Amino acid sequence: MTGRDNQLWLRLWRERRTDFHQQAVNPLLSRFWPSLGLAPGSRVFVPLCGKSLDMLWLVEQGHEVIGVELSPLAVKAFFRENHLQPVKRRQGRFTLWQHGCLTILCGDYFALTQADLGQIDSVYDRAALTALPEDLRRRYVAQLRLLLPATCPVFLLTIEDAAEHASLQQALGVDPELQALYAADFDIDLAHVESLFEADPQAPEQPPKRAEYKVYRLAGRVQTR
């Protein structure tokens, strides 16, 4: 992130404005993750992980999980709230927090290298793009591509606001921004869509708006010249 964006993210955690944090494991993760068919012991990368409980679920499936999170408050809260006693040490530009098969690297995602992560077998991305301003999203995907093996799969969950006049077919298709960001390097499989009408907690007097909860499976492609 830029310094400005880093400070904004850190301030959200300091001021406890973290209503984006889910209080339970994402049901779409537990429902569709097995379709990847990953072997026990596979190493799963979770970018911009916050204090997501989904990481614990992935560990329970027999995976080794490596998250990255900018805010030390988020990382500390994750281990405290889940009654885990991590080992901490410096690793290059990061502070590594580790408990069993779960590791969180505390630092800037954009400073990560392949050496920091080691071999990665899959990525779990729950709406990481929404945490970034639009001008950083292409850089986020480019960084992901640098960190991953060429054919590494990405399991991507998104929440997309349906355009006011979008047809049902448009709403249930691949999001145009996601297509623009990922299609050059990944084959995109839209595996599942749930369309829900939800009230805006910031404007309860407004009528509910339709949101699309989508499950994408992205398969990295080997680039040919």
Number of domains forming the structure of the chain? 1
Q: How far apart are CA 192 and CA 189, in angstroms?
A: 9
Closest by CA to 150, choosing from 201, 79, 223, is 223
| pLDDT of the residue at 20 | 44
Give me the helices (H) in 41-107, please.
54-60, 72-81
CA dist., res. 70 & res. 107, Å (int): 4
Query: DSSP assignment, residue 35?
Result: G
- The token pair at 126 is 């729950």
Query: Does any domain span residue 178?
Result: no
Q: Could you give the CA distance from residue 223 to residue 225 in angstroms, rounded to a whole number?
A: 7
Rounded-to-integer distance, Cα 129 and Cα 177, Å: 10
Q: Judge whether 150 lies within some domain.
A: yes
For 95-151, the DSSP string reads EEEEETTEEEEES-GGG--HHHH----EEEEESGGGGS-HHHHHHHHHHHHHHS-TT
Q: Does residue 168 sit within a domain? A: no
Q: What angle do CA 13, 14, 20 make, to 5 degrees?
A: 25
43 in Cβ contact with 66 (< 8 Å): yes
Assess if residue 205 is contained within a domain: no
The answer to the question of residue 142 being in a domain is: yes
Q: What is the CATH number of the domain that holds 41?
A: 3.40.50.150
Q: Give the Cα separation of 60 and 39 in Å (integer).
A: 13
- Can you give the residue range of the structural domain that contains 136? 3-160+215-220
191: in domain: no
Structural Rg of the chain based on CA atoms: 18
Q: 7 has which bridge partners?
A: none
Q: Which amino acid is at 125?
A: D
pLDDT along the chain (225 residues), means of 10: 49 49 82 94 95 95 96 92 96 96 96 94 91 87 93 92 58 85 94 78 69 91 67
Instruction: Give the span between the Cα atoms of 110 and 126, in whole angstroms.
Output: 18
Instruction: Please tell me the distance from the alpha carbon of residue 66 to that of residue 103, in angstroms, as a whole number.
Output: 5
At residue 158, φ and ψ (nearest 5 deg) are -130, 155
Q: Determine contact, residues 179/189, Cβ cutoff 8 Å.
A: no
